[in-house]
A and B are shown apart, each in its own frame.
Chain A
């Protein structure tokens, strides 16, 4: 058996894969946060709660209505996206003129509300969700055994992230979005319906979170508090990467997931804290973040 630093290579690679899985969740969530922050100047604390809603909707769809995983992968993000757009229209919209802190506080309150609501129905124990039939089992890649579902999560999230990058950086719609991020007033003066764009952007950002939630449902515990611990790590990821660049968010998310995975192998005690430690170091060396611009 091949070994690296005294640890079997296959164990190392399976941790690498696990890290990539977590990293893809970080990437999708921090990407959504960055897109929302760019246009709305709101840090969406509720992102974790909406990710949880995606997972719980997947579970509810299967349990109550018999809707399978693949359908929920589309339906849950749509539902959560619509829910997000309603929140934006009813509540968030009224805070844009104020200090950015109020957006954070409002979404924090919404997080408590959403989590508490689901907790009053489902408690805090995990709800079981099966891996869909097509992705059960594992594939022997020769150098390691890869559980199919984990591979799928990484591929699907990467595809969604890159598609998002393509739309924002390479299409007309994305150009309008970038223009709105740069200067909302001027964009509006050119006849673009910026308020509508803001609503749709928020809806898209939270739909991304819900998509991550559905992906997570079969491998992580589906329970009302699953989002709140994740969102704090994602905040650290955002501080490390800076919110200036789409590809930067994706890379930082994946990279930190991998580092966390390796920490689990070499020094498990620090696996929960390593991302925060890296954040502290980045703040000392490059306060604006790896891909951020000093503002």
Chain B
């Protein structure tokens, strides 16, 4: 019963997103949100359901963005092959980075993923195929399955939505599978999971590779949408951004990363306007430059989330909802008891 209600919420959301272009919402903006939502959901698979804080997920987004962009532009492969190449690139990078990083746990795991991602950043900076500081520009979208022309924004819109929904279902299925239960056991108490006979290192590596592959798919899709891949995708600040998305939306919830991705992407686009408004309203000139200083706003949200909002928006809503239900059921029980007496 509960599952079906959950599915109704998801289905309603998909329908709303399908109708957005008809409501004059800019499709490229929504596609960008969807790409980051997929990225954040993939990241959440690790932090939310396995308890591993990777500080290097930008490497998978960026690496796959370059791989897919290079394949589409230079090799001229069909679009679906380009996306697949991005996915595989993410998975391979994840396999190497994950195999190294899971040799340490906790805080060291985060530092190692950050350092390895930074190494890849320098590799991308120097390598020829990435175009260095300019990035990989004007990547063609091509045609899907040979007959669906993706140059049209609206067509691509539904393709991206399809990719997102399928990936989301895969994550949903993973989290609710026996494999997902083992991951949660590792998150709660790794030593106990080991003592129950689970090879936790292998489970962690598998989760890491899956997360990296999906992050890669997000990166490849993003290249397709925007038509370019740049160093920003692989920079550590992007790794920080995806952490913020999941933290703000709610770690370990299904909808949290999506909401977080929406808020962060919207904020990045709109923070300049908000600053202008505040500057005009308060007369403090510093606010006018707020668009230049998005990092200040992002950093502030980070601090607020960590200090007082650790469950994230969806997590807090969930907690509020179950508190209310608990209160109501005790009230019902009490009145039943009273009438029985």
Query: How far does the alpha carbon of A224 sit from the alpha carbon of B217 in the complex, in Å?
Result: 34
Query: How far does the alpha carbon of A106 sit from the alpha carbon of B237 in the complex, in Å?
Result: 15
Interface 1/0 per residue, A76-113 and B, CB below 8 Å: 00000000000000010011001011101110111111
Q: Which of B27-35, B112-120, B192-200 contacts A (4 or more CB under 8 A)?
A: B112-120
Q: Given that A100-B107, A110-B299 are contacting pairs, would A277 and B293 also be in contact in the complex, using a CB cutoff of 8 Å?
A: no
User: Is B295 in the interface zone, CB < 8 Å from A?
Assistant: yes
B243 touches A105 (CB 8 A): yes
Query: How far does the alpha carbon of A55 sit from the alpha carbon of B55 in the complex, in Å?
Result: 27
Query: How far does the alpha carbon of A111 sit from the alpha carbon of B305 in the complex, in Å?
Result: 15
User: Is B306 in the interface zone, CB < 8 Å from A?
Assistant: yes
B292 touches A119 (CB 8 A): yes
User: Is B302 in the interface zone, CB < 8 Å from A?
Assistant: yes
User: Is B123 in the interface zone, CB < 8 Å from A?
Assistant: yes
A228 touches B116 (CB 8 A): no
Partner of A232, one of B118, B300, B303: B118
Closest chain A CB from B287 CB (angstroms): 10
Closest chain A CB from B212 CB (angstroms): 17
Of all chain A residues, the one with the shortest Cβ separation from B244 is A109
| A residues in contact with B302, CB < 8 Å | 105-106, 108-109, 112-113
| B residues in contact with A112, CB < 8 Å | 237, 240, 295-296, 298-299, 302
| B residues in contact with A102, CB < 8 Å | 306, 310
Interface 1/0 per residue, B110-140 and A, CB below 8 Å: 1110111011001101100000000000000
Count: A-B pairs, CB below 8 Å: 124
User: Is A139 in the interface zone, CB < 8 Å from B?
Assistant: no
Query: How far does the alpha carbon of A284 sit from the alpha carbon of B104 in the complex, in Å?
Result: 11
Interface 1/0 per residue, B267-305 and A, CB below 8 Å: 000000000000000000010010011111111111101
A239 touches B104 (CB 8 A): yes
Of all chain A residues, the one with the shortest Cβ separation from B118 is A232
A106 touches B306 (CB 8 A): yes
B303 touches A235 (CB 8 A): no
B306 touches A273 (CB 8 A): no
A91 touches B303 (CB 8 A): yes
User: Is A117 in the interface zone, CB < 8 Å from B?
Assistant: yes
Q: Is the interface of B mostly helix, strand, loop or mixed?
A: helix
Query: How far does the alpha carbon of A120 sit from the alpha carbon of B294 in the complex, in Å?
Result: 10
Of all chain B residues, the one with the shortest Cβ separation from A105 is B306
User: Is B93 in the interface zone, CB < 8 Å from A?
Assistant: no
A116 touches B107 (CB 8 A): no
Query: How far does the alpha carbon of A265 sit from the alpha carbon of B28 in the complex, in Å?
Result: 47
Of all chain B residues, the one with the shortest Cβ separation from A42 is B107
Q: Given that A113-B296, A239-B104, A283-B103 are contacting pairs, would A232 and B114 also be in contact in the complex, using a CB cutoff of 8 Å?
A: yes
Q: Given that A101-B53, A106-B306, A112-B298 are contacting pairs, would A120 and B286 also be in contact in the complex, using a CB cutoff of 8 Å?
A: yes
User: Is B228 in the interface zone, CB < 8 Å from A?
Assistant: no
Query: How far does the alpha carbon of A234 sit from the alpha carbon of B72 in the complex, in Å?
Result: 37
| A residues in contact with B104, CB < 8 Å | 239, 283, 287-288
Query: How far does the alpha carbon of A9 sit from the alpha carbon of B119 in the complex, in Å?
Result: 30
User: Is B11 in the interface zone, CB < 8 Å from A?
Assistant: no
| A residues in contact with B125, CB < 8 Å | 272
A105 touches B293 (CB 8 A): no
Residue with the highest number of chain B CB atoms closer than 10 Å, among A100, A109, A269: A109
B115 touches A269 (CB 8 A): no
| B residues in contact with A269, CB < 8 Å | 126
Interface 1/0 per residue, B83-109 and A, CB below 8 Å: 000000000000000001001101110
A276 touches B292 (CB 8 A): no
B112 touches A239 (CB 8 A): yes
Partner of A91, one of B100, B118, B298, B307: B307
| B residues in contact with A228, CB < 8 Å | 236
| B residues in contact with A111, CB < 8 Å | 299
Query: How far does the alpha carbon of A30 sit from the alpha carbon of B53 in the complex, in Å?
Result: 21
Closest chain A CB from B133 CB (angstroms): 14
Q: Given that A232-B114, A277-B119, A280-B116 are contacting pairs, would A116 and B306 also be in contact in the complex, using a CB cutoff of 8 Å?
A: no
User: Is A236 in the interface zone, CB < 8 Å from B?
Assistant: yes
| A residues in contact with B292, CB < 8 Å | 119-120
Query: How far does the alpha carbon of A21 sit from the alpha carbon of B102 in the complex, in Å?
Result: 33
Partner of B293, one of A95, A116, A235, A238: A116
23 contacts between A and B (CB under 8 A): A37-B107, A91-B307, A94-B307, A101-B106, A101-B107, A102-B310, A105-B247, A106-B307, A109-B298, A109-B302, A111-B299, A116-B299, A119-B292, A120-B286, A120-B293, A233-B115, A233-B118, A236-B111, A236-B118, A239-B108, A272-B122, A284-B100, A284-B103
- List residues of B whose CB falls within 8 A of some A CB: 53, 55, 100, 103-104, 106-108, 110-112, 114-116, 118-119, 122-123, 125-126, 236-237, 240, 243, 247, 286, 289, 292-303, 305-307, 310
- List residues of A whose CB falls within 8 A of some B CB: 37, 43, 91, 94-95, 98, 100-102, 104-106, 108-117, 119-120, 228-229, 232-233, 235-236, 238-239, 269, 272-273, 276-277, 279-280, 283-284, 287-288
Knowing that A95-B307, A106-B307, A276-B118 are A-B contacts, what are 17 other residue pairs whose CB atoms are under 8 Å apart, sorted by A's residue number?
A101-B106, A102-B306, A106-B303, A106-B306, A109-B301, A109-B303, A112-B298, A114-B299, A116-B297, A116-B298, A120-B296, A229-B118, A232-B115, A233-B118, A235-B111, A276-B116, A288-B104
Which are the 4 A-B pairs with shortest beta-carbon distances? A109-B302, A112-B299, A113-B299, A116-B295
